[in-house]
Amino acid sequence: MVFDVDLPLLLPFLYCSVATLGILVYGVYYSTNAHRHAPVLMSTVTYMALWILALTGVLLYNAPDISATVLYHTQSLDSVSTTLQMAIVCTTMVSLWCGVGYCIRSRLNSYEYVVLILLATQGMMLLVSSQDLLSLYLAIELQSLCFYVLAAYARHSEFAVEAGLKYFVLGALSSGLLLLGASLMYGATGTTNFMDMAQLYAGGTGTALITTQGMPTCELGLLLVITGLLFKLAAAPFHMWSPDVYEGAPTSVTAYFMMVPKIAFMGALVRVLYGACYDFMETWQTAIVIASAVSMIVGAFAALVQTRLKRLLALSSVGHVGFMLAALSTGTPEGVQAMFLYLFVYTCMNITMFAYILGNHQGGQSPRLVTDLTGIGATQPLVALTLCVVWFSMAGIPPLAGFYSKAMVFYSAVAGHMNSLAVLGVLTSVVSCFYYIRVIKVMYFETSSTWPEAPRMSYVSACIQACSVVVLVCFMMYPAPIESLAQRLALCVCA
């Protein structure tokens, strides 16, 4: 009887799951059909997946505006989960749409690629709405298993195989740490539900846990759970896998890794810290502050010597995660609002960057080195202008969107009495300007040793790049809608 009530509320996820199984059956049947000569289904299945994701987004947009828990209180349906699920679906659509041409050029012509993307997306949709440690772990494992295969999907490349193996080994370690932490928390409290934990910590911390000596066990378990989530976010010092995996994986997979998981795991981290363990702030705040500071330092200095685009973006993303963690460490609604705002701007910047990398190719190859951007200020002036907006925004140059989001993070840190973290953020932002502006120098002020080429970008990538830049520019001029949305999400989390 409980599931009869829950099923209508889970309609978007159920539709996406059933449609994914339909695509899988379609691909198995037609790709092995001898009468049809085993056709390549990459384009067909990709556009079918785009329609599925679009309809899932429509269902999420029209979902009832309620706050409820379903499936025996393991999943939470509220404005936070619905908004983050819509963001995950939209970003997945962008990465699939941009990457279909790249996959065909790189001979990744198998429908299983799209099925794995859809399954990983469903795992992340469950992740942002998880209200229980068990459902959290199962959702992480669903998307992680798909990610391991996607990282090594280019089987003809030894770098991709190395990336997949490295991601699998280290990912299994992080999942083990998270599961160990969850078991310790369950052993000390007798529950895995976030709401029950919050009530126990708020009302029984001084009696039940201390008298049974369960407090140290809970603290250790919480730190292990946070460690597992920080690994998935590629936050320092758990970032070692990200440059190699992002460099070795196919570029379309790297784009998906850079954009979508950040949304899901930031949402999961907010659920754990603010939903279940807010009264343990003294414990988790120190860990998040340390991870934030180390991430900002690593992101600023490790990227200085990088010459490959994907490694540069991977290490710079470590710094961006550090800024989001700095906002999250304040423990205030303003900090959560700044984190959601920064996450939106970061996602838009990555969409613009990878729309160019996936849509621009010379001789069948996408840009790999920073020097591959040499001279595009003269050969592709509009493209270079959009990339300039993105690089300056990543560096935090005013009055661009990146500056506004970083200013919100620093404001929330100062308001939360994290003055030293705010100062460190300003200093690392200044250092990171070096490698961002160096790319702009390569685009405009260096000349190529060979005859310059001006390859035509695909129309899909050009449209996506233009739309994302327009969003960034409009955000500069009128940030109120996104700011109010972030405030509403923060109030829902901290209520």
Tens of pLDDT, residues 4-27? 667 778 888 999 999 999 999 988
**CA–CA separation, 214 and 219 (whole Å):** 9
DSSP string for residues in 112-140? HHHHHHHHHHHHHHHHHTB-BHHHHHHHH
Share of the chain above pLDDT 70, in %: 92
The pLDDT of residue 1: 47
pLDDT value for 134: 92
Contacts of 159 (CB under 8 A, 6+ apart): 247, 248
Peptide bond into 381 cis (omega under 30): no
In terms of average pLDDT, the best of 188-192, 205-209, 328-332, 365-369 is 328-332
Long-range CB pairs of 62-71, under 8 A, 24+ apart, other chains included:
63/9, 63/11, 63/12, 64/9, 66/9, 67/492, 68/9, 69/131, 69/195, 70/5, 70/6, 70/9, 70/10, 71/3, 71/6, 71/10, 71/135
Number of neighbours of residue 65 by Cβ within 10 angstroms: 9
Is the confidence at residue 182, as pLDDT, over 90?
yes
Residue written as tokens 């999943």?
75
pLDDT-based confidence at residue 400 (cuts at 50, 70, 90): confident
In contact, 375 and 442? CB cutoff 8 Å = no
Which of 18 and 205 is assigned the larger pLDDT?
Answer: 18
Give me the residue label for tokens 């899909």.
460
Q: What is the pLDDT of residue 219?
A: 86
Q: Please say if the pLDDT value at position 209 is more than 70.
A: no
Q: Is residue 325 exposed (0-12), middle (13-18) or buried (19+ Cβ within 10 Å)?
A: buried
Q: Most confidently modeled of 196-210, 256-270, 347-361, 434-448?
A: 256-270
* CA gap 483, 317 in Å, rounded: 22
Quote the CA–CA distance of 404 and 344 in Å, as a whole number.
12
What residues pair up with 70 in beta bridges, in sequence order? Answer: 75
The first and second tokens of residue 373, run together, are: 């951007």
Angle at 299 between CA 293 and CA 300, to 5 degrees: 90
Q: What is the mean pLDDT of the chain?
A: 86
- The 10s digit of each residue's pLDDT in 66-91 is 778 888 888 888 889 999 999 999 99
Question: In angstroms, rounded to a whole number, what is the distance separating the alpha carbons of residues 176 and 189?
Answer: 20
- Phi then psi for residue 132, to 5 deg, are -150, 145
Q: Which amino acid is at 409?
A: V
pLDDT digits (tens, 9 = 90+) for 275-310: 888 888 888 999 999 999 999 999 999 988 888 888
Count, residues in the chain: 495
Measure the CA–CA gap between 248 and 163, rounded to whole angstroms: 5
Look at the alpha carbons of 36, 40, 46, 47 in this order and tell me if their dihedral is positive or negative: negative
Residue 320 has pLDDT above 90, yes or no: yes
- Of the candidates 321, 322, 310, which has an alpha carbon nearest to the alpha carbon of residue 354? 310
Please report the pLDDT score of residue 39 as a whole number.
58
- The pTM (predicted TM-score) of the whole model is 0.93
Rounded Cα distance, 218 and 350, in Å: 37
Tell whether the model's pLDDT for residue 124 goes beyond 90.
yes
